[in-house]
Structure 1
Amino acid sequence: MNLFSTTFTSLENALQYASLRQKVISNNIANADTPNYKAQDVSFKNVLQDSVDSIKTYRTDPRHFDFSTDTAGASIVTEPNVTYNNNGNSVDVDTEMANLASNQIYYESLIELEKGKLSSLLNVVKGGQ
């Protein structure tokens, strides 16, 4: 028996993705002047696939889609043939700062969702008082 719904697991995975992406973006900004450094990003496709894999599905007809596939966790990807600066660096600081702000808003919204779910559970435990 699962004490909490799968929502908590999904929120936890999303928070881990946002945290990893924050680290990668910060690393890109820190290496903006490093010669031949290639900007990195976190592959969202793997995170989405992990969330889809956690959904319990039952095929009642052979024509239904099968959602069970094996994937690894979030992965960091690098575009090797992209260069924005003369020194071979592919970091665009303006883009990275925009990504950082967007990721921060995403992270904070996930925290608010988590707080709301925990508040609902607390309300149930207290008996609605």
Structure 2
Amino acid sequence: MELFSNTFRSLENALNYANTKQKVISQNMANSDTPNYKAKDVEKTHSFKAELDSSLKSYRTDARHFAFDSEGGQASTIVTKKNVQYNNNGNSVDVDKEMTDLAANQIYYNAVSDRISGKFQSLENVIKGGK
């Protein structure tokens, strides 16, 4: 039995996603006046395979079977927004949208960090014997 459940792994991935999103938004805003800078975004890559990896432990009995080994990979990827242009200098950063994304990301991060804090408090309660 694992000490930390898949919930902790999922919450860790969510915090990593929020961290990456924060960095990308900051980079976009810092380059809002840079000519020909293309805004970037973060996409969650939580696929069916990732969900299956996090919920099941599987063992291959034949080399032809699919491998479901979890490598603790990224929960997100950084992509460049293409075919978008807001300024005459080729820059595709929309500062208002970035500020909105920043606020939404902050709310998301706070919710996830509150949830993981609650999980650790529950674990502490169990360790102390409910006292």
Instruction: Indicate the TM-score class for this superposition, using the shorter chain for normalisation.
Output: 0.7 to 0.9
Aligned to 1:3: 3
8 Å Cα contact 1:10/1:51 also seen in 2? no
If the length of structure 1 is used for normalisation, what is the TM-score? 0.83
Q: Percent identity?
A: 56
Unaligned runs of 5+ in 2: 59-65
Structure 1 stretches of at least 4 aligned residues deviating more than 3 Å after TM superposition: 68-72
If the length of structure 2 is used for normalisation, what is the TM-score? 0.82
Structure 1 residues 111 and 70: CA distance shift in structure 2, 3 A: closer
Aligned to 1:98: 100
SS state of the match for residue 54, structure 1?
helix
Unaligned runs of 5+ in 1: 59-65
1:116-127, aligned counterparts within 5 Å?
116-127=118-129
The amino acid across from 1:32 in the alignment is S
**Residues paired across the two proteins, number:** 119
8 Å Cα contact 2:32/2:93 also seen in 1? yes
1:1-129, aligned counterparts within 5 Å?
1-44=1-44, 46=45, 48-49=46-47, 51-52=50-51, 53-56=53-56, 73=74, 74-129=76-131
